Amino acid sequence: MKANVMQQKRCNRYMFIVLACVFALNLACKNEGDMAKQKVDTPTKVIEKNDINRVEPLNWWVGFKNPKLQLLVHHPNIFQTTPEISCQGVSIEKVHKADSPNYLFIDLNIAKTTTPGKFNIIFKKEGEADLIHTYELKSRKKPAEDFKGFTSSDAVYLITPDRFSNGNPNNDIVNSLKEKSIDRTNGYARHGGDIVGITNHLDYIDDMGFTAVWSCPVLTNDMPQSSYHGYAITDYYQIDPRYGTLNDYINLSEALSKRGMKLIMDQVANHCGIAHWWMKDLPFKDWINHQENYEKNINNWNNSKSITTNHRRTTNQDIYASKRDKENMSVGWFVSVMPDLNQRNPFMATYTIQNSIWWIETANLGGIRQDTYPYPDKDFMSQWAGEIMHEYPNFSIVGEEWSYNPLLIGYWQTGANNRDGYESNLKSPMDFAMQRFIVEALNEEEQWDTGLVKMYEGLANDFYYATPKDIMIFPDNHDMSRIFTQLHGNVVNTKMALSYLLTLPRIPQVYYGTEILMHDFDNPGDHGLIRSDFPGGWKGDKVNAFTGQGLKPDQKHMQSFLRKLLNYRKESKAIHNGKTIHFAPENGVYVLFRIADGETVVHILNKNSSTVKLDLYRFNEIGLNGKTLKNIITGENIKWTDSITLTEKGSIILTTKFN
């Protein structure tokens, strides 16, 4: 009996101990849970440090469809360290070492629930002090769907910023950069134009009727000479200090947005400048094309050592192209001082895509113009454009395809029925073909197969394009002779060219100074001359195109002509998205109609110097008989009846819209 009592006491004691342990364990778990909850609810204060030379992208955002982010880390012997992160919602998926010991590439995953804020990346190495870099995830200022790209309702003003206006003379010379001089008499030197200069003259650009500004690249080009154009980038995350600051660029974008206008950024995925910071320490053996050749000749580099592209862009589509020609086109350097980037390297590909997205978010962009579009790896370009458009479904990208063959232009547009199955994801190629047709049509004598028929047949090529209205048309740009030069100084023909392209189913782009007949007659095709200073952009200029002071009569008339046409176009649904009907040229007269929502725009091109009568019965299918139309430029009204008498050569633009 006594033994049974003792046994019962022992069992009770054991039960008490077990229950006590369970209680203590539950209490500990509860306290741990409460502590964990407290850690989530109360963000840990981050002590900011920046021990690492370079981490790119400079920051990122929460809320992207793609949760992945790859950081490029550059620091002496960083490969010996192990990075760690303590941030809820952010995890390191993988760390990649490069061929150079001075790089790490860190793959992060950013969960949808991640809150914006700063956190530290700690680089640990046994026996040495930790290296710390503070990184920030920002909240996005607006939904991705609200990034609206340019469309056929826009008219784009292209500017070479160094040559437009010097808004801040204090940044003309930056002693830390290689080129340290200003010389406005030298077409290939820097002249001092900057971002503030553009912002200062938005009243003028807006008043002219433009709705978007495309500036040639404004990122740092720290080259020894002749890099004012911006296409030899040496830092993809820095505004060139001679153009201003990142805040200046953001301010320009915000000022445009307040006016309902858009900022288009010129980007370069194909090549960088040879003085780019990574050229002294390339992360991988295949970071650039022909890297072995460059590294072998780096100490005596010159034009003869460079393996440059053959520029045979047709190899992208040519079913008969040799492997050698294909490779020479896409792998060769653009020029000897602009190394070709190797987008087949997955780290380079990711870097380039993330850089574009970074600028869209940072500067609230309304579009990207991508330079030398057919030169990089075309599968990468499809990926690049596709990932951007996936994140920003209403965005716009225009790619430079300098080809006069509509088949090649159409190949690059999204939705094209390409037999090789290629899908570019590119909304807008550039219409170099139509630009040439316009110039030839106006310069040639009228015959069966020359003259205005070139325009007519050029526009007829639209049957091939997936969406013609999304193609960008232009009279000239920063790389070709001014349209006034191409048309041999003929003012009337220049007006005809501009009025025609501004009424086409296209997105029009006009280069700064075209409105005042800037030219390059002294040395046609010379880039320095093509990109001359806009008069009035510098203090002390005797001629000021912004105010009209000192302009010649022809310049004032052209400026007024374009202003009236552009401002009408701004509100014309018929021009933006209307149906297009044109009639084959007859007797030196070509007529085109744009029709939508009760509005009809009539464009008449007349190459006759003597009086001619235009029979209107030919156009009965348009349904204008008996209606009154207004001349967009002169404001005069005409009755659409039997005929119109054309008394002089030129263009006439009529509309049924009176308000």
Active-site residue, 371 included: yes
Contact 59, 136 (CB under 8 A): yes
How far apart CA 541 and CA 539 sit, in angstroms, is 6
HEC per residue, 11-70: HHHHHHHHHHHHHHHHHHHHHHHHHHHHHHHCCCCCCCCECCCEEECCCEECCCCCCEEE
CA 632 to chain centre: 32
Q: Is 90 exposed, middle or buried (0-12, 13-18, 19+ CB in 10 A)?
A: buried
Mention every residue, 6+ apart, whose C-beta is less than 8 A from residue 513.
482, 532, 534, 545
Q: What are phi and psi of 89, to 5 degrees?
A: 95, -10
Write out the two tokens for 198: 């553009």
The residue with tokens 């990468």 is: 380
Give the SS3 label for residue 523.
coil
Residue 9 CA: distances (Å) to CA of 2, 15, 21, 22, 273: 11, 10, 18, 20, 87
HEC per residue, 69-137: EEEEEECCCHHHCEEEECECCEEEEEEEECCCCCEEEEEEEECCCCCCEEEEEEEECCCCCCEEEEEEE
Contact 60, 391 (CB under 8 A): no
Contact 498, 470 (CB under 8 A): no
Q: Residue 615 belongs to what H/E stretch?
A: strand 612-615
Contact 655, 599 (CB under 8 A): yes
> E-strand spans in 270-413?
367-370, 397-399
Pairing verdict, β 212-215 and 117-124: unpaired
Options 206, 222, 235, 371, the catalytic residue: 371
Options 154, 248, 266, 400, the catalytic residue: 400
Mention every residue, 6+ apart, whose C-beta is less than 8 A from residue 546.
201, 204, 536, 537
How far apart CA 10 and CA 46 sit, in angstroms, is 54
Residues catalogued as catalytic = 371, 400
